[in-house]
Chains A and B, each alone.
Chain A
Amino acid sequence: MSELWQLSATEIAMRIANGEISAVEVAEAHNARIEALEPEINAFITPTPDIARAQAKAIDERRATGAPLPPLAGVPLALKDVICVDGVRTTAGSRILDAYVPPYSGTVVHMLADAGTLLVGKANMDEFAMGSSTENSAYGVTKNPWDLARVPGGSSGGSAAAVAAGMAPIGIGTDTGGSIRQPASLCGVVGMKPTYGRVSRYGLIAFASSLDQIGPFARNVRDTALLLNAIAGHDPKDSTSIPDPVPQYLDGLDAGIDGLRIGIVKESLSEGTQPGVAGRFKDAIETLTSLGGEVEEVSLPSFAHALSAYYLIAPAECSSNLARYDGVRYGMRADAPTVSEMNARTRAQGFGDEVKRRVMLGTYALSAGYYDAYYGKAQKVRTLVIRDFDEAYQKFDILVSPTSPTTAFKIGEKADDPLAMYLNDLFTIPSNLAGAPAISIPCGLAEDGLPVGLQIMGPLLSESLLLRAAFAYESARGPAERPPL
């Protein structure tokens, strides 16, 4: 029989509802797993075993009264430390928010509590979600559960590693340029970026507001669908929230993909892609074809330019979003005789290298005389990306590519070369620019024994379709490999 920490969210919720196991047992099993593995993995900035225990107790008490339980009752959850929880330290991976305890909770935090999840910890991340490796965390790098010498990807590396290592069956990340999908790929779990506006951003510490989106991590597609249902929906506190009703993502999950028109993004098959990644991707295409998918190559010329546009838009927005960390109202404060010097020293001491680099880049891109050349132009490239997608979706229902050009890389390997690091997001960024949903699911191990991810992209609000395709693929290939932990 499986250990409790090996169970999926669906199984845990079912067994608790049946009375086979208690939520407190589940919480303790995961708390213990975290305690055992944290010294090696460092998936969390702040583990919250007491909160998980208290929430579990409430679930058990509720069950005892015979009241119906919510869909994820008693399921442990790792929450990226970029989402505010009232009374719980929230750092965004930054020294500048080291002691920050928010006076309010984000909308998804309320929704996740209502869904019955147990918060086991605030997961590690690249500072302010800027990075693809969690090396930019002020709280130390998270290690990839597949190989402790390697990065888990990022920026939501802590959540991905926690889910991969069995510290929680589900996790929450945020994806601005691939920050859910890339670590999901590198850690061998499922990760999804929903349509921009599908999940409320209220309480999500902003990196790039027009691109940021909260999304689920899980070890299988069904759990992913369940978790997405728990967090999706309109929120009057977020002006950019989509008012359309949320479908039941489990409905029709197993309807298959026979006849589905699938486009392979030609630009993702470049020589820069690691051979083992290309190999697993080819296998995945064969599987999709065998399931009745009508697969064909498609060219999205702007795909290659999306990266440059992204690295102007995201820094520009972040330079403004991060202006509030000035030592006045919250967070760190450096000593200085005047307020402007205090601001400048606080920010110099509180922000890490990558954050400073992007704040500088974005400030420059917005500054007088350069707006049109950089930010303005990047917004136009964004239009071109959207047009390319629109055109592709005339012919195809979904598009596929590898999630990341490589498997997990060594800690420190790309730390000194920002451009090389940025290339990690090459295939994931276009969906963010288009606001469209995309999912990464494990598609086997590369020649180096590390997991590879298959990315499935779709038009706005096509989450049901993406989950259906991912589920069909996952069912055909069988359960994903698990790390040797």
Chain B
Amino acid sequence: MALTKEQVLHVAKLARLALSDDEIEKFQRQLSVILDHAEKVMALADDGVPATAHALPLSNVFREDVAEPCLPQDKALSTAPESEQGRFKVPRIMEDPT
């Protein structure tokens, strides 16, 4: 199916990508081609076929509830672009969480 520019913009917003106009135009074209191709194939899988999320027949893998050592604070923060007061520093959060 052909994607509209609005759909591409919406997806870019969901994916948190500040795309240029050129990129928007390019992805609109390329994603349409790829999805078109995919749709033809997907027609094969009817409702009677179960979905496979994992190829392995494993289930019930757990860890026991035992506390283990943590990273020291300086190591946890060592990769941070910015930190302050032992915390990761970020620009203003304009929106509330869900």
Direct touching of A and B (C-beta under 8 Å): yes
List residues of A whose CB falls within 8 A of some B CB: 100-104, 196-197, 210, 236, 239-240, 242, 302, 305, 307-309, 311-312, 319, 323, 326-333, 336-345, 347-348, 351, 356-357, 359-361, 363-364, 367, 373-374, 376-384, 386, 418-419, 433-436, 460
Asked if B55 and A196 sit within 8 Å, CB to CB, the answer is yes
Task: Identify B44's interface contact among A305, A327, A363, CB under 8 A.
Answer: A305
B5 within 8 A of A: no
| Contacts known (A103-B78, A305-B44, A384-B44); A210 close to B94, Cβ less than 8 A | no
In the assembled complex, 17 residue pairs joining A and B whose CB atoms fall closer than 8 Å, in A order, are A101-B79, A197-B56, A236-B63, A242-B56, A309-B42, A319-B15, A330-B80, A336-B91, A340-B94, A348-B17, A357-B31, A361-B31, A380-B46, A380-B50, A383-B45, A384-B44, A384-B45
Question: Once the chains are docked, how many angstroms separate the CA of A457 from the CA of B55?
Answer: 15
Question: Once the chains are docked, how many angstroms separate the CA of A359 from the CA of B18?
Answer: 13
Asked if B45 and A308 sit within 8 Å, CB to CB, the answer is no
Residues on the B chain within 8 Å of A328, using CB: 80-81, 88, 90
Contact mask for chain B residues 30-47; partner A; CB cutoff 8 A; 1 contact, 0 none? 110111011111101110
Question: Once the chains are docked, how many angstroms separate the CA of A378 from the CA of B81?
Answer: 38
Beyond A103-B75, A327-B81, A330-B79: 20 further Cβ-contacts under 8 Å?
A: A210-B54, A308-B37, A328-B80, A329-B80, A331-B79, A341-B91, A348-B19, A356-B27, A361-B34, A363-B14, A364-B3, A364-B7, A364-B11, A374-B38, A377-B42, A378-B38, A382-B55, A418-B30, A433-B52, A435-B54
Question: Once the chains are docked, how many angstroms separate the CA of A380 from the CA of B46?
Answer: 8
Question: Once the chains are docked, how many angstroms separate the CA of A115 from the CA of B64?
Answer: 29
| Contacts known (A329-B80, A357-B27); A305 close to B41, Cβ less than 8 A | yes
Asked if B8 and A360 sit within 8 Å, CB to CB, the answer is yes
Asked if A311 and B92 sit within 8 Å, CB to CB, the answer is no
Which residue of chain A has the shortest Cβ distance to B72 in the bound complex? A103
Asked if A339 and B93 sit within 8 Å, CB to CB, the answer is yes
B25 within 8 A of A: no
Asked if A103 and B79 sit within 8 Å, CB to CB, the answer is yes
Question: Once the chains are docked, how many angstroms separate the CA of A378 from the CA of B34?
Answer: 13
Closest 9 CB pairs of A and B: A435-B55, A380-B45, A379-B51, A330-B79, A308-B41, A333-B81, A377-B42, A344-B18, A348-B18
Residues on the A chain within 8 Å of B14, using CB: 363, 367
| Contacts known (A333-B82, A339-B94, A434-B55); A381 close to B41, Cβ less than 8 A | yes
List residues of B whose CB falls within 8 A of some A CB: 3, 7-8, 10-12, 14-20, 23, 27, 30-31, 33-35, 37-42, 44-46, 49-56, 58, 61, 63, 71, 75-76, 78-82, 88, 90-95
Question: Once the chains are docked, how many angstroms separate the CA of A470 from the CA of B64?
Answer: 41
Which residue of chain A has the shortest Cβ distance to B28 in the bound complex? A360
Residues on the B chain within 8 Å of A433, using CB: 52, 55
Asked if B90 and A342 sit within 8 Å, CB to CB, the answer is yes
Asked if B17 and A338 sit within 8 Å, CB to CB, the answer is no
CB distance from B69 to the nearest CB of A (A): 12
Asked if B56 and A347 sit within 8 Å, CB to CB, the answer is no
Residues on the A chain within 8 Å of B90, using CB: 328, 339, 342
Residues on the B chain within 8 Å of A305, using CB: 41, 44
| Contacts known (A103-B76, A360-B17, A363-B15); A419 close to B33, Cβ less than 8 A | yes
Residues on the A chain within 8 Å of B40, using CB: 308
Question: Once the chains are docked, how many angstroms separate the CA of A104 from the CA of B63?
Answer: 20
Question: Once the chains are docked, how many angstroms separate the CA of A340 from the CA of B3?
Answer: 25
| Contacts known (A242-B58, A377-B42); A386 close to B52, Cβ less than 8 A | yes
Question: Once the chains are docked, how many angstroms separate the CA of A6 from the CA of B49?
Answer: 51
CB distance from B74 to the nearest CB of A (A): 10
Task: Identify B16's interface contact among A240, A311, A340, A419, CB under 8 A.
Answer: A340
Task: Identify B56's interface contact among A196, A357, A361, A384, CB under 8 A.
Answer: A196
CB distance from B9 to the nearest CB of A (A): 11
Which residue of chain B has the shortest Cβ distance to A345 in the bound complex? B18
Which residue of chain A has the shortest Cβ distance to B57 in the bound complex? A460
Question: Once the chains are docked, how many angstroms separate the CA of A311 from the CA of B42?
Answer: 12
Asked if B51 and A329 sit within 8 Å, CB to CB, the answer is no
Question: Once the chains are docked, how many angstroms separate the CA of A337 from the CA of B91?
Answer: 6
Task: Identify B92's interface contact among A337, A343, A348, A378, CB under 8 A.
Answer: A337
Residues on the B chain within 8 Å of A418, using CB: 30, 34
**B10, B55, B82 — which one has the most chain A CB atoms within 10 A of its CB?**
B55
Asked if B42 and A308 sit within 8 Å, CB to CB, the answer is yes
